[in-house]
């Protein structure tokens, strides 16, 4: 039982660190999309790159500790925990979102962004919605079906 509690604590801690960055990165993209000063643009490029590379290990550690939790509880538990299947699906969507941020980083780096600040403001809401759903699923564990 103590092992599971440590796994949960590490899983949630890395998830919080990941989300802190994944909430802030699109705000940098908003500023970048709306910036006109070349010095500001260059500064934002550096900030975006450092932040994305800084939070990527947190994403990987969140997934790693989540998988270790699933393994610790066992396959029988996993098979019956439908809420967890939904949660895992949402995490996969968030990982795709995170991966897409690398594409956006590339576009900004090469001055090829064609999206507006408004797009990035809306884009910024996706992880918020995923977080709400994941927290409800993980803590309420609603019966689905």
> Tens digit of pLDDT for each residue in 43-61?
999 999 999 999 999 999 9
Residue 57 C-alpha from the chain's centroid:
11
pLDDT tens column, 2-34? 799 999 999 999 999 999 999 999 999 999 999
pLDDT value for 45: 98
pLDDT value for 32: 98
CA gap 66, 59 in Å, rounded: 11
Percent of all residues in the chain with a pLDDT value above 90, rounded to a whole number: 95
Look over the chain and give the mean of its residue pLDDT values, rounded to a whole number. Answer: 96
* Closest C-alpha to 26, from 119, 107, 99: 119
Q: Which residue has the tokens 């809306």?
A: 122
Q: What is the pTM of this model?
A: 0.94
pLDDT at 145 over 80: no
CA gap 61, 18 in Å, rounded: 9
Once rounded to an integer, what is the mean pLDDT over residues 118-141? 96
pLDDT value for 2: 79
pLDDT value for 126: 97
What's the CA dihedral at 142, 57, 39, 41 to 10 degrees?
Answer: -40
Once rounded to an integer, what is the mean pLDDT over residues 97-104? 98
pLDDT value for 64: 98
pLDDT value for 132: 97
pLDDT value for 143: 80
């Amino acid at each position: 039982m103590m092992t599971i509690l440590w796994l949960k604590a590490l899983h949630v801690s890395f998830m919080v660190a990941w989300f802190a960055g994944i909430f802030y990165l699109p705000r940098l993209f908003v500023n970048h999309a709306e910036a006109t000063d070349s010095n500001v643009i260059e500064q934002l490029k550096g900030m975006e790159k450092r932040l994305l590379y800084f939070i990527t290990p947190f994403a990987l550690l969140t997934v790693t500790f989540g998988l270790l939790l699933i393994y610790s509880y066992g396959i029988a538990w996993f098979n019956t925990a439908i809420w967890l299947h939904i949660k895992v699906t949402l995490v996969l969507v968030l990982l795709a979102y995170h991966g897409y941020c690398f594409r956006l980083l590339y576009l900004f780096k090469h001055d090829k962004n064609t999206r507006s600040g408004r797009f990035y403001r809306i884009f910024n809401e996706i992880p918020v919605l995923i977080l709400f759903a994941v927290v409800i699923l993980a803590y309420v564990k609603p019966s689905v079906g």
